[in-house]
Chains A and B, each alone.
Chain A
Amino acid sequence: MAAQHPDARPSPAPAVGTARAVAPRMGRFAYFAFCAAVFVFLVAPILVIIPLSFNAEPYFTFTEGMLRFDPDAYSLRWYREIIENEAWTGSLVNSLVIGVSATALATVLGTLAALGLASPGVPARRVIMGILISPMVTPVIISAAGMFFFYSNLGLGQTHLGIILAHATLGVPFVVVTVTATLAAFDRNLTRAAASLGAGPWTTFRRVQLPLIAPGVISGALFAFAVSFDEVVVVLFMGGVEQRTIPRQMWSGIREQISPAILAVATFLIVFAALLLVVVAWLRRRAPG
């Protein structure tokens, strides 16, 4: 495990013998090389998708033409295919409708609950928190199986509403966790000051508390949206043809007839993830504390 230790400070032990001086330098080199390799392992599989999605041939690897940067080896055919294919455009609409509705529901309910949980007099806070977080910690296959039975009995199987409710539930913990974290940094004296100046609870919330916790609420909402936008298991169990979302469409694409059109969709999702990451990072910097 010597490789894991970079002796960053060259000062303490100047070389006594050459052998001693070489060993740490080799160790340092091995450490940086190993770290570089791990970063490549993390990012390369995602980046490699992007050029492959411009492949002119229906292959999943770089053709000779692509390696020579021959412009003819690249094309937008897979992008044209997904834009013209109603299965894909329809699934985008479904994903957006379900994602936005589920996020709205999860954000409103989650933020209210986080506000309640943050106030001092809540009984059984830990138990309530445990229940609210349970959808995040339960393996998704178990949640999906249970929801399948229950929602079908209620007549919500194969409906948008059923999936929206299910996705809202899966997104709730993320809203509760992020808003709770923001509220922990919130200075309660501000609400007291507002109250002492004559503001009612609603005015205090709207004019003082909400603007300050807004970054937390928005990042919670983005988390919830990301959960829904990437969720496939619940849709697999509960959704019908009418509820096909992008992940569901990708799932059958991977299982049945894998076509490079999937790589074009994947590229679109990678760009989307990068945007989300930027927004969340920006919000975090604005959050108090």
Chain B
Amino acid sequence: MGGGDRVPQGGGPGGGPGRPGGLRGAIPFRRDQLRALGLVAPLLIFVGVTFIAPLATMLTRSVHDPVVADALPETLALLRDWDGDGLPAEAVYETAARELERLGEERTIGQVAGRVNRVQGGLRSVFTRTVRELADAAPDPAVAAETPWRDALAGIDPAWADPMTWHAVRTTGERFTSRHYLNAVDRERLPDGTIARQPEERRIYLRLFWRTLLVSGTITVLCLLLGYPIAHLIARAPPRRAALLLVLVLVPFWTSLLVRTTSWIVLLQTQGVINDLLVAIGLVSDDGRLAMVYNMTGTIIAMTHVLLPFMVLPLYSVMRGIPPQYMSAAASLGATPVQAFLRVYWPQSLPGVGAGALLVFILSIGFYITPALVGGSDGQLISNMIAYHMQTSLNWGLAGALGGILLVGVLALYLVYDRLVGVERMGLS
């Protein structure tokens, strides 16, 4: 700080004329800096509160879940001594029965049951039924038994005599947990503490991550194939025509995403414009109409359309800077058009290819709206799964974990993009 090179030359508005040279450097520097920070601070605070803090709370949820820990504190404390083999001690059963009864009175059993159920399917009903029937099933003190509470709970549901139930309670009782992240990569922690893959039918998230990457890659390649020629055409066109052609790229760019998605539904549906056209010219028969929407095909077509401008604009701005004389020079030196393109033009257009491809890829792995509307059941991406866990299954911890993984991936790609292009120059201008 305070190095001479950072001192604004001549002083900012704060540095009045005629001050002695020695002071002149120091004072306006500090005042300038304060003024600049004062201008930035309101927005920085605003974004911190309205955006960074919300993100942080969501990510916290993915590792922090106190509901079960707060609901069954004594049971969990006793379970700490349980070796994990066999059944827990009678004291655990007695305490659990007492705490479950309280949850029933407070009507908070649903939250606990739901969480335990995610670790061990079927436990939701075990918990709610146990709470309901506990009052009538309490052991009779007159009857001597070695484990009266264990017998009473197991009498309500045999699941209480299964160590896996207690394992589920102990797992969900961890205040800070890695299970949502393990779940998000199709792993689980076994009772003995080792990490293993989920059973076959529960492995869905890794496949979905791969599908999202694959679909995004496909869309990126399609955008490049479609966008490269037209960016080249616009870059070489005379100014007036170039401006007109650019408008054709910018109109979709500015048109509402929902409008563009609606258009594709209208065009692609079985009774839609494209199928009608294909039937009219006899390419497909009337009952052989193509299913092009509400599936993966619909997602890919609509997303390619939505993202194509993000490919064309960076390509165009790079290609505009490639002098056309280079191609003539290559031709005059005997290169065929193909050779000239591959060895002269393509290498010079690579910065645009990199910027456009990276941008399209980043945008598509986080896409939500278009797949949700035109994707049907097999055209959904990872964002749609996050929305599902947010709104339908209400497994917010898992939604947070999936979101956390997606966010890290996207931010890493943006860092690459920033190195290559600069986030500030994002296809906007």
Q: Give the B-binding residues of A (Cβ under 8 A).
A: 1-9, 12-13, 24, 27, 31-32, 34-35, 38-39, 41-43, 45-46, 48-49, 52, 59-62, 109-110, 112-113, 115-117, 119-123, 128-143, 145-151, 153, 165-166, 168-169, 172, 174, 176-178, 180-181, 191-192, 194-196, 199-201, 204, 223, 226, 229-230, 232-233, 237, 247, 250-251, 254-255, 258, 262-263, 266, 269-270, 273-274, 276-277, 280-281, 284
Residues in B with CB closer than 8 Å to A2 are 337-338, 341
A174 and B97 alpha carbons, distance in the complex (Å): 57
Please tell me if B13 contacts chain A, counting CB pairs below 8 Å: yes
Please tell me if B8 contacts chain A, counting CB pairs below 8 Å: yes
SS of A interface (majority): helix
Given contacts A49-B262, A169-B46, 12 further A-B contacts (CB under 8 A): A13-B331, A49-B259, A60-B269, A109-B43, A116-B38, A145-B386, A150-B53, A150-B54, A168-B46, A250-B262, A251-B258, A254-B258
Q: Which residue of A lies closest to B243 (CB)?
A: A281
Q: Which residue of B lies closest to A274 (CB)?
A: B251
Partner of B33, one of A121, A134, A145, A226: A121
Are A121 and B36 in touch, CB under 8 angstroms? yes
Residues in B with CB closer than 8 Å to A122 are 33, 36-37, 40
A282 and B8 alpha carbons, distance in the complex (Å): 34
Question: Can you list 26 A-B contacts (CB < 8 A)?
Answer: A8-B236, A12-B331, A38-B230, A42-B305, A42-B309, A46-B252, A62-B273, A116-B38, A132-B44, A135-B51, A138-B366, A139-B383, A142-B406, A145-B58, A149-B61, A150-B54, A165-B50, A195-B13, A229-B256, A254-B261, A266-B263, A269-B256, A274-B254, A277-B254, A280-B254, A281-B247
Which of B88-96, B112-120, B152-160, B407-415 faces chain A? B407-415
A168 and B338 alpha carbons, distance in the complex (Å): 49
Taking the closest CB of chain B, its distance from the CB of A221, in whole angstroms, is 14
Partner of A116, one of B40, B55, B56, B264: B40
Partner of B428, one of A6, A52, A145, A177: A177
SS of B interface (majority): helix
A229 and B249 alpha carbons, distance in the complex (Å): 20
Partner of B254, one of A142, A263, A273: A273
Q: Which residue of A lies closest to B410 (CB)?
A: A139
Please tell me if B78 contacts chain A, counting CB pairs below 8 Å: no
Residues in A with CB closer than 8 Å to B414 are 137
Residues in A with CB closer than 8 Å to B272 are 60-61
Taking the closest CB of chain B, its distance from the CB of A151, in whole angstroms, is 7
A122 and B425 alpha carbons, distance in the complex (Å): 20
Residues in A with CB closer than 8 Å to B391 are 237
